[in-house]
Structure 1
C-alpha cells in the first residue's frame, strides 16, 4: 500500500533510539523526509546516517524539549529544511519509582519531559499545518494511561495526559485538514527492556534462553492475546498509517498496539 508520504516532512521527537528510531526509519522508507531528534548529537546523527545510507532523506535536530529554549532550538532546526507536515511526539522517559519514592519534584520533571515537551512542539509547528490545510499530529501514549498499576504513578499520569491532550487537540483542529491521534504501545522489546528482563529472569525462574525469558515475562507480567512482546517496527507501522493519506477520516482516536493487553471495548 502506498502511504503517499513522498513530499512530506516529519519530525519524530526522541528518535535517536528505540521506538522513535524505528518510526523515523519507516517513515523515511515510505518516502517522507524525516527529522531525527535527540539530545545526543552523535546518536541522532548515527540514525540519520542509517536512513540516508538506505536511500532515505534525513535531517537532525538537537535539543532538550523539557524547556522553552530547547524547544525553540529544535523547531528552528527542523524547519530549516522545510515545512513540517507530520509531528510524532515520542520523546519521554520514566523512573522505576512508586508512590513512596516518586516525589512532587519527580512528578514535575516527568510532566515537563513527557507532556509539556509535546505541547511545546504542537504550539510551534501545528499552526503552520493549519494554514497549509494538511497535517498529522501523533502522540505516543501507552496502555498504562487507562490501566494503571501501583508502580510509576507519575509516568502513568503523564501518559493519560498525552492521551487526553491529543483528543482535545483533535476537537480544536476540526475542519482544518490536520488530525490528532494516539498510538498506544504495550510492552515493546527495545534493547533496554531486553537487558532488564535478562537481568531479572533468574529471580523469576524464567529460564536462560531468550524464548523462555520472553514467554515467562508475558505470562507473569504482561499477559496478552498474542503471547509475546511487541517489536518497535509494529509501533512504527501504526504511526506510519496514521501519518498517511489513508487515515484522513481518523480523528481523536487511540490505536492500541499491545497484543490485546488492554481489556476494554473502547
Structure 2
C-alpha cells in the first residue's frame, strides 16, 4: 500500500512533539509539504529540523502560534492561507478532580481542544471544497466515549470534537472532502511520560513498564494491554489523510487498543 501525497500541503497543529510530530513525519514521508505548528518559535524550529532529518529532502516549514485564541488561529491562516490536509491535533490534558476545576480551566480546554479546530476548519474547508479534494482530521480520544472521572473537562472536549467532525462530514457531503476523527487511547507521548515520571523514579520502572501498569490500572478494558506508540497513532492519521481513504468520512476511527467495549 503506497500513500502518495505529493503536491499536497498539510498543516498539523500542535506538532512539535508527540502524536503531532509523528504525524508530520509520516505525512512528509508520504510526499506532502508539511507545516508544523507550536506555541514557541524555538520548539517549531526544532521540530522542522527533526522532520527534515527524518525525511531528507522533505519540504517542511513552521508557524509559531498559540491556537487557544482566535488571534492565534488567525496568525496561522494569515501565514498559510490554504492547505489540502488539516490535522487538528493541538490539545491539552491534565487530570484534575471535577470539584477543583474552575471555570477558567473549562474555558481554556474548550478554546484549545475544540475551538482551534473549529476555527481552522471554517477557514480551510471552503478552499478544499472548491478544489474538490481535501482531508480534515480531528484528534479525538477514547475519552470521548469513555469519559474519565479524573478528567471530565478533557473528556467533554473530545466528545465535542467527535461531534464537530461528524457534522462537518455531513456538511461537506459529495464534495470530495472527507472529515473524520481519530481516537487514540493512552499513548506514550511526552505528556504521558511526564505523568509517569514519579512512578518510574519511585518504583524503578522503565517508561514501558510504567505505561503498561497505568493502562491496566486506569483502562482495564484495554485489549492491547499497553499504551500505543505515537507512531502507531500517526499511522492511522496519515492513512486517513491519504487518497486511499477516499470512502472514509464521518467516522470516529479507533486506535485505542480496544478500550471502548462496543462493537
Q: TM-score range by the shorter chain?
A: over 0.9
TM-score by length of 1: 0.93
Give yes or no for contact 1:60–1:77 (8 Å, CA) kept in 2.
Answer: no
- The whole-number CA distance in structure 1 between the counterparts of 2:201 and 2:71 is 45
- 1:93-112 to structure 2, matched below 5 A, reads 93-112=92-111
- 1:1-266 to structure 2, matched below 5 A, reads 1-53=1-53, 54-55=55-56, 56-79=58-81, 83-200=82-199, 208-223=205-220, 224-265=222-263
Give me the CA root mean square deviation: 1.6
- The whole-number CA distance in structure 2 between the counterparts of 1:137 and 1:107 is 25
- The whole-number CA distance in structure 1 between the counterparts of 2:231 and 2:213 is 22
- SS at structure 2 position matched to 1:124: helix
- The whole-number CA distance in structure 2 between the counterparts of 1:65 and 1:192 is 18
Give yes or no for contact 1:59–1:78 (8 Å, CA) kept in 2.
Answer: no
Measured after TM superposition, the shift of residue 201 of structure 1 is 5.0
- The whole-number CA distance in structure 1 between the counterparts of 2:200 and 2:25 is 31
Unmatched runs of 5 consecutive residues or more in structure 1: none
1:43-77 deviations in whole A, cap 9, x for unaligned? 11111112223321111111122222211111121
- SS at structure 1 position matched to 2:173: coil
- The whole-number CA distance in structure 1 between the counterparts of 2:4 and 2:205 is 44
- The whole-number CA distance in structure 1 between the counterparts of 2:116 and 2:208 is 37
1:147-172 deviations in whole A, cap 9, x for unaligned? 11211111110110000000000000
Measured after TM superposition, the shift of residue 202 of structure 1 is 7.2
Measured after TM superposition, the shift of residue 91 of structure 1 is 0.4
Give yes or no for contact 2:65–2:73 (8 Å, CA) kept in 1.
Answer: yes
Measured after TM superposition, the shift of residue 4 of structure 1 is 1.7
Unmatched runs of 5 consecutive residues or more in structure 2: none
- The whole-number CA distance in structure 1 between the counterparts of 2:64 and 2:207 is 35
Q: 1:239 to 1:212 in 2, by over 3 A?
A: closer
TM-score by length of 2: 0.94
Q: 1:131 to 1:145 in 2, by over 3 A?
A: same
- The whole-number CA distance in structure 1 between the counterparts of 2:38 and 2:201 is 34
- SS at structure 1 position matched to 2:99: coil
- The whole-number CA distance in structure 2 between the counterparts of 1:107 and 1:239 is 27
Give yes or no for contact 1:60–1:78 (8 Å, CA) kept in 2.
Answer: no
